[in-house]
Amino acid sequence: MKCFLPAFLLLLSTSFVSAGKVEFNRDIRPILSEKCYKCHGPDAKNQKSDYRLDSFAHATARLDKRQGISPGQVEKSELHHRIHAAGTDDVMPPSDSKVTLTPSEIALLDQWISEGAEYQQHWAFVPLPKTVPVPKVVFPSGSNADQAKLSRWAKNEIDAFVLEKLVQAGFTPSPEASRTQWLRRVSFDLTGLPPSLAELDAFLADESPEAYEHVVNRLLDSDACAERLTAEWMDVARYSDSYGYQVDNDRRVWPWRDWVEQAFRKNLPYDQFIVWQLAGDLLPDATREQRLATTFNRLHPQNVEGGSVPEEFRTEYVSDRVQTYGTAFLGLTMECARCHDHKFDPVTAMDYFRLSAYFANIDEAGLYSYFTPAVPTPTLWLPDKKQEAELARFEREIASLSQRLASRREILQKSWSSPADIRVPLPKPIASFSFDHLKNGAFPDADPQGESAKSSPNNLLVPGHRAQAVRLTGDDAVTLPVGNFSRDQPFSISLWMNTPDEKERAVIFSRSKAWTDAASRGYEMLLEKGHLVAALVHFEPGNALRIRSKDVFPIASWHHVALVYDGSSRAEGLRLYLDGKPVGVEIVRDQLTRTIEGGGSDTIVIGERMRDSGFKDGFVDDFSVFDQILSPAAVAALASDQTTFSPDLDHHLLTDDAESRAIFAKLTTSRQERSALVEEIPEIMTMEEFKGPPRITHFLERGSYASPGKAVSPATPAFLPAMEKGLPNNRLGLARWTVAEANPLTARVTVNRYWQRMFRNGLVATTEDFGSQGRLPTHPELLDWLARDFVDHGWDLHRLLKIIALSATYRQSSDLPKGKALTADPENTLLHHYPSSPLSAEMLRDNVLATSGLLVNQVGGSPVKPYDIAVAFKPSAPDTGASLYRRSLYTYMRQTSPSPMMIVLNASKRDVCQVKVERSESPLQGLVMLNSPQFVEAARVLAEKLIAEHGDDDEGLIRDAFRRLTSRQARPEEVRILAQLFAKESARFSADSGRAEALLKIGETPLRKEKQSLPRVAAATVLISTLFNYDECCMKR
């Protein structure tokens, strides 16, 4: 590599800071941010000092008759004196702060003050320029041949930016990588897989000028590319197949992963990719795909630990959404501002909570259900075509039958009148309990099933409404033997009760295993803040019917209460009666679409529920359960202790009118058939705005759910350009704002992340932080040019990847340059060579599956369990057959027990949004790649194939193996090393064929049927296993 002399200057078309002049963003902000802002930064409320250095106005303000910075006047600036006061009490930073300024930093600060202490807006918050000029490198001296060569080096705009910096520093680019090396590199980068031999040969034979472009087009237009892009997005989206936290049950969210894959396959414009995921549900006439995309916001860990406070975890979920949003799209560390104004960036705590308000307004619970497999609300149903059609048919049928029933009622309303003087007996309950006698924990009431109600001895019998009643402790249950109704079954419950006080919350009775732990699955009657509440619940709160009395319940007196449900799954079909009269109610929820059965505790329990507030010191008497609707007249009779009543129209329709009864019977059948179908339809967590009154988001003191401050309205961070007028101020508005022209961050953050995947590091090395603590871009103009080009071409991701892949910069050799470049720029920020990097965990495993031919190319579907899940921290049985050989993207990801192989190979742990995975080497990786059945089997299967192809031709076998695994021809010395290994091991396995047989038994794939020399196959397995671990097989170079 040729080095230019330092005197070799160049002129640039872009603005250039004259040597010596201090630039705030480049030179000063990093010092202030790193060493001063903690006490003198934007977080004015929580820092010791009133003096702030985060803006010109603050920094030059006079406080206590002193001026921190007097622009242009070093001597008059307090700051100057304080940073020079080493050894005194006045020194800044203070000696106990454990922060010190270096002499060069002190000099820079002085120079900056004397040059006028100019501030600049933080580079990442400056709007993206409308156009970004491409530099033209001009060489004032040097040999013409060199100039000509360099001027021909650039293949596209990227290279002009890179070359400019290289030449400026006195360096030149590295030579081109070989064709094979480039093909291998670009294949891994775009598809996560190595090139096949056929692809390699085709490319080497293609002498057309478009050969490279053809390859890139072919790679981009493949399922493998979509899978590779999806794998990366899974880390960003903290995707996992389980809920996380401690119990970590499985969750079914892979349909969202499949949506991501399709989006990448179709090259969905990236701005839409973002908008759909953030707010697809709010798009006009949102499609199922657009709604499904919003599962992105629900992939945070979710808790179910018994006894947890639901609001604590709901707050965490919302925070996680904000943090993921901030990191993934804005490149900002929003979570810092949850507890206090950001210490380094202009993000205030108010910004944080106003942003979080966009993500809070869904009908969700803080805990998922331990006792049932319910999907936490809100959800989207994913019926297949047939189910969709059948569901529509049932809905039509049910609507039509309901209509007929209503019509019949209307007709009879006009024609039917209650026959005078006729009284009929009350409907017969399926069970009835007087609570008059309690013996050995049982109420020996006669009941039809012969089973009695049971109670703890702590509940006492006391005089009640009629004879004795039960007085409840609130911690002890009275358990009835009946009550397991489906949502399609009409039922009624009649009881007398007496509450000693209003009750903040008290369970009168329920058919439900538990409150939060079962998400209230079942049905229940409660007192809440004095109001009577009745509910039928699949999953609380989002899939339930819930009504609440408008008036508070009278205290310290006996009252008759009836609950009547008509089997309609509608709130209007659920009624409450007090002392025989209908209770005026408000509808709290009217969204019951799935079963209310299950979860355990299959019968009615009075006065207590697991981890809920019981009916402490309350009284209950004469409790009856009916498997039918009670008419108002029947309820009135019960409320007045009558045994007969004069029938009303409802009663007539229910019991006497044959036509109504026939329609109702059909209706019930249809509802039951619908329910059976619905239980088969999978659903998935998504976003859906709550239709009731908006959930209020509060400013939380120190970020704690337990310290809510004042209510806040949703808004985008105040320091960024405001949302365009006309956008709705909801999640959709936020999504549109995120990809709006005025947003300075999203496009830059996105192109930077894709640059990182191609070049190991981003142009901004801190991919996750574009704030003032982040690293400055190495090539700010290039970053802007890429972002501008990306936006101007409709956020076309494939175009972006193609430009990068076809650049001369990307085509450089990864061999380390031999000149000064390395010592001058060891981090390769100037890109004087292509930065090699270890293959990702997914690539390492997929590579051996692909090269051995074991890889099963099946796109999408439910997760699979390869061999190593059997030795995970929480082991489960591995799959068999094709599932063992799918791409690693599909490997079952359990948060608390991920695939141990993938974790050792540096896969992301997926508990939080991760835009950059630190790759480190450890001896454990070699053990996995040499010893695990997945790798050993792959080596053996390839060994069999090569033995079959090459027979006794050892050298041919070795050369073929080497090329398949590294894409290049082996050199003679390499062949010699491997031939020695192969010969030696062949001999040793021949001498001990038992070892060969044991080795070849590993893995589920059977040995080839045709006759083969097992010692030779074993030796070839050893050879290939060795090569699997060879650098050029497992590094991207």
Q: Which among 186, 197, 190, 175 is positioned nearest to 2, based on CA atoms? A: 175
Report residue 60 as tokens. 């030059």
Q: What is the nearest approach in angstroms of another protein to the Cβ of residue 169?
A: 15
Residues contacting 229, CB < 8 A, separation 6+? 264, 797
Q: Is 877 in the site for another protein (CB under 8 A)?
A: no
Contact map string, positions 86 to 105, toward another protein, x by CB under 8 A = ------------x-------
Q: Is 454 in the site for another protein (CB under 8 A)?
A: no
Q: Is 26 in the site for another protein (CB under 8 A)?
A: no
Using CB atoms within 10 Å of the CB of residue 262, give its burial: 0 to 12 exposed, 13 to 18 middle, 19+ buried.
middle
Q: Is 958 in the site for another protein (CB under 8 A)?
A: no
User: Which parts of 239-298 interact with another protein (CB under 8 A)?
Assistant: 244-248
Angle between helices 780-792 and 746-759 (to 10 degrees): 110
Q: Is 986 in the site for another protein (CB under 8 A)?
A: no
In this structure, the dihedral spanned by the alpha carbons of residues 733, 738, 739 and 745, taken in order and rounded to 10 degrees, is 160
- 650 vs 974 by CB, closer to another protein: 974
Q: Which among 253, 727, 198, 646 is positioned nearest to 417, based on CA atoms? A: 646
Q: What is the nearest approach in angstroms of another protein to the Cβ of residue 873?
A: 5
d(C-alpha 482, C-alpha 505), whole Å: 25
d(C-alpha 514, C-alpha 524), whole Å: 11
Q: Is 611 in the site for another protein (CB under 8 A)?
A: yes
User: Which parts of 304-323 interact with another protein (CB under 8 A)?
Assistant: 305-309, 316
Only one of the segments 140-148, 439-447, 972-980, 1005-1013 lies at the binding site for another protein (rule: CB under 8 A); that segment is 972-980
Residues contacting 75, CB < 8 A, separation 6+? none
Q: On the CB side of 822, how many CA atoms lie within 13 Å of its CA? A: 11
CB neighbours of residue 69 within 10 Å: 24
User: Which parts of 880-899 interact with another protein (CB under 8 A)?
Assistant: 895-898
d(C-alpha 940, C-alpha 945), whole Å: 9
Q: What is the nearest approach in angstroms of another protein to the Cβ of residue 479?
A: 16
d(C-alpha 747, C-alpha 202), whole Å: 36
What is the amino acid identity at position 57? A
User: Which parts of 699-758 interact with another protein (CB under 8 A)?
Assistant: 706
Q: Are 912 and 323 in contact (CB under 8 A)?
A: yes
Give the β-pairing of 531-539 and 522-528: antiparallel
Q: Is 858 in the site for another protein (CB under 8 A)?
A: no
Q: What is the nearest approach in angstroms of another protein to the Cβ of residue 932?
A: 5
d(C-alpha 809, C-alpha 759), whole Å: 10
- Member of 54, 227, 235, 345 binding another protein (CB under 8 A): 345
Contact map string, positions 797 to 836, toward another protein, x by CB under 8 A = -----------------xxx-x---xx--x---------x
Q: What is the nearest approach in angstroms of another protein to the Cβ of residue 825?
A: 9
- 452 vs 1026 by CB, closer to another protein: 1026
Q: Are 558 and 498 in contact (CB under 8 A)?
A: yes
Only one of the segments 227-235, 300-308, 412-420, 656-664 lies at the binding site for another protein (rule: CB under 8 A); that segment is 300-308
Q: Is 922 in the site for another protein (CB under 8 A)?
A: yes
Q: What is the nearest approach in angstroms of another protein to the Cβ of residue 726?
A: 33
Task: List b or e across 892-916, with b for residues whose CB sees 16 or more CB atoms inside 10 angstroms.
Answer: bbbbbbbbbbbbbbbbbbbbebbbb
Q: Which among 823, 836, 738, 829 is positioned nearest to 783, based on CA atoms? A: 829
- Member of 921, 952, 1009, 1011 binding another protein (CB under 8 A): 921
- Member of 13, 178, 857, 931 binding another protein (CB under 8 A): 931
- Member of 295, 302, 591, 613 binding another protein (CB under 8 A): 613
Q: Is 1026 in the site for another protein (CB under 8 A)?
A: yes
- Member of 253, 547, 574, 1018 binding another protein (CB under 8 A): 1018
Report residue 549 as tokens. 């009395």
Task: List b or e across 102-122, with b for residues whose CB sees 16 or more CB atoms inside 10 angstroms.
Answer: eeebbebbbebbbeebebeeb
Between the alpha carbon of residue 446 and those of residues 451, 466, 813, the distances in Å are 8, 16, 90
- 335 vs 650 by CB, closer to another protein: 335
Q: Is 996 in the site for another protein (CB under 8 A)?
A: yes
Q: What is the nearest approach in angstroms of another protein to the Cβ of residue 168?
A: 20
Q: Is 174 in the site for another protein (CB under 8 A)?
A: no
Q: Is 579 in the site for another protein (CB under 8 A)?
A: no
- Member of 301, 647, 717, 762 binding another protein (CB under 8 A): 301
Contact map string, positions 759 to 788, toward another protein, x by CB under 8 A = -------x-xx-xxxx--------------
Only one of the segments 420-428, 649-657, 661-669, 1017-1025 lies at the binding site for another protein (rule: CB under 8 A); that segment is 1017-1025
- 794 vs 926 by CB, closer to another protein: 926
Cα radius of gyration rounded to whole Å, the chain: 36
- 98 vs 266 by CB, closer to another protein: 98
Q: Is 366 in the site for another protein (CB under 8 A)?
A: no
Angle between helices 349-358 and 731-738 (to 10 degrees): 110
- 395 vs 475 by CB, closer to another protein: 475
The DSSP annotation for 589-639 comes to EE---S----SS--S-EES--BTS---TT-EEEEEEEESSPPPHHHHHHHH
Please count the residues of this chain forming the interface with another protein, following the rule CB under 8 A. Answer: 108
Q: Is 27 in the site for another protein (CB under 8 A)?
A: no
- Member of 900, 946, 960, 1020 binding another protein (CB under 8 A): 900
Report residue 718 as tokens. 């105040």
Contact map string, positions 832 to 851, toward another protein, x by CB under 8 A = ----x---------------
- 921 vs 952 by CB, closer to another protein: 921
User: Which parts of 377-406 interact with another protein (CB under 8 A)?
Assistant: none
User: Which parts of 36-55 interact with another protein (CB under 8 A)?
Assistant: none
d(C-alpha 751, C-alpha 594), whole Å: 44
